[in-house]
Chains A and B, each alone.
Chain A
């Protein structure tokens, strides 16, 4: 489709030799609004990260890379980065894998297919805060499910595992929708050929579907990685980062420093470190999209 448009577009363009201002007029408001936000905020945060800006301090001064030196020596922050790593890796792996399986399962015609698909997406549609609140209730030590699991939110490991499960529960629908969309583009004749050769359903799934869908799985993984690395709302509602700091991820740690202790300088330096991680993930995302665009 993109190719067809590409050949048509120049027909509109070469009407004038001089630069046509019309498209600029159309994009100007959105570019200004989005650009001001993204660029100005990043610059502001970058500058603030070089200061000792703190609610308890009268005079704010530049301290160079002091906040970054502090960050690399802050064992709480290093712990938060490790917890983020565990949390993000687990959620991404679990939701991509189960999203794939459910999508493959749903890609056949059966009764109630639409209902099942909608059901898996609903958790992605419920507000994050509500999800955190009601899973906290379900996992209370006295609640039926919480009692069976021995009150998982009271222990550090239990709370982290519960958080991973709840966030996976929420994200599976997203992964499934994306995989279902890319399944539509697989040529049915591939399966027919495999069936003629006597390949079983499982072999077809692993040897045909999985390789063809894997670029989409990678895109899903990167998007979920970015989303979960920056996730705070659900954690605030679910565990508040506790018990002690067992579920305090980098994002929550940064949020607490900036908005609860008002260590604005230090919070900004963590935000910049987080942006570096985000930009690296986004770089992979763009490269991936480019290579897919080129191969199509």
Chain B
């Protein structure tokens, strides 16, 4: 009897749920799964309406990796992402801390600077950035990308860290100060351990941002295999436009790192997505 009622209730909820499921699966899952499966099919089957499981092959991935220099781009992209984190995470942390905990002259204008830079996209500055680094003879130099990515990721990192630290209780810091802990000691030994989830969110978002980037790298770097993964995919697209299965394999490969990071660290990722706008 009870089992029956439970089942009946489950059936009643099902209508809305089934609709959500079907809509979401058809609109979001199907296109992505289709591309992954087509990337595993031989070239001549790219436009067929069926998937031939017996003909699964990795040759498209091999072609994408060699023709798009994807292995080399992945390595250099990873190094650039980590180097950017090495700048953005510590600077974002100390700046966010200062803006969360201290009142000082000019604080409002500094907050405005970060908010302003957060909403001004890199594209409108691209000409200026290109000319600046060209004058410094730093075009085709991966260090340039690290500097540009750091400058463009910092506003969100600062904003996120500030919001995170503002939500932490300040009493422990005061107690530590009274106990004779140095101010840098507070920053390093007291606040950092409890702010680690926020630091984690900043790290994930920065890495994903660098793996998403294309336009700055395409403008500043023209060395085959050095830069970001999207350049490898673009190289495939411009040089082998009609190799559709190779392109499908390439789009799967360049999305692997960001999607994997998102699936592993969903909570940090989502808190980062909302922090920029929800908390003020």
Are A and B subunits of one complex?
A: yes
Q: Please tell me if A230 contacts chain B, counting CB pairs below 8 Å.
A: yes
Q: Please tell me if A118 contacts chain B, counting CB pairs below 8 Å.
A: yes
Known: A116-B20, A137-B247. A1 touches B104 (CB 8 A): no
Contact string against B for A residues 10-47, beta-carbon threshold 8 Å, 1 for contact and 0 otherwise = 11110000011011101101110111111011101100
- Does B255 lie within 8 Å of A127, measured CB to CB? yes
- Does B20 lie within 8 Å of A22, measured CB to CB? no
**A227 to chain B: which residues have CB within 8 Å?**
121
Contact of B129 among A37, A143, A144, A182 (CB under 8 A): A37
**A267 to chain B: which residues have CB within 8 Å?**
127
Known: A119-B24, A177-B270, A181-B278. A237 touches B124 (CB 8 A): no
Q: Please tell me if A293 contacts chain B, counting CB pairs below 8 Å.
A: yes
Q: Please tell me if A133 contacts chain B, counting CB pairs below 8 Å.
A: yes
Contact string against A for B residues 158-183, beta-carbon threshold 8 Å, 1 for contact and 0 otherwise = 10000000110111011001000001
Q: What is the interface size of chain B, counting residues whose CB is below 8 A from a CB of the partner?
A: 104
- Does B170 lie within 8 Å of A11, measured CB to CB? yes
B27, B107, B148, B277: most-surrounded residue (chain A CB, <10 A):
B277
Q: Please tell me if B86 contacts chain A, counting CB pairs below 8 Å.
A: no
- Does A177 lie within 8 Å of B280, measured CB to CB? no
Contact of B28 among A112, A123, A133, A220 (CB under 8 A): A123
Q: Please tell me if B208 contacts chain A, counting CB pairs below 8 Å.
A: yes
Chain B residue, CB-CB nearest to A35? B113
- Does B183 lie within 8 Å of A127, measured CB to CB? no
Q: How far, in whole Å, are A275 and B123 apart by their CA atoms in the complex?
A: 10
Give min CB distance, A23 to chain B, whole Å.
Answer: 4
| Chain A interface bracket (under 10, 10 to 19, 20 to 34, 35 or more) | 35 or more
Give min CB distance, B232 to chain A, whole Å.
Answer: 10
Known: A12-B177, A119-B24, A134-B35. A278 touches B47 (CB 8 A): no
Interface of A is mostly: helix
Q: Please tell me if A233 contacts chain B, counting CB pairs below 8 Å.
A: yes
Contact of A271 among B124, B131, B211 (CB under 8 A): B124
Given contacts A135-B31, A271-B127, 8 further A-B contacts (CB under 8 A): A26-B95, A29-B95, A38-B125, A48-B127, A116-B20, A125-B259, A237-B233, A267-B127
Q: Which residues of A contact B (CB under 8 A)?
A: 1-2, 4-5, 8-13, 19-20, 22-24, 26-27, 29-31, 33-38, 40-42, 44-45, 48, 102, 105-106, 108, 110-112, 116, 118-131, 133-135, 137-138, 140, 142-145, 169, 174, 177-178, 181-182, 216, 219-220, 223, 226-227, 230, 232-233, 236-237, 251, 254-255, 258-259, 264, 267-268, 271-272, 274-275, 278-279, 281-282, 285-286, 289-290, 292-293
Q: Which residues of B contact A (CB under 8 A)?
A: 13, 16-17, 20-21, 24-25, 27-29, 31-32, 34-35, 38, 46-49, 91-92, 94-95, 97-105, 107, 110, 112-117, 119-121, 123-132, 147-148, 150-152, 154-155, 158, 166-167, 169-171, 173-174, 177, 183, 187, 208, 211-212, 214-215, 219, 229-230, 233-234, 237, 244, 247-248, 250-252, 254-255, 258-259, 262-263, 266, 269-270, 273-274, 276-280
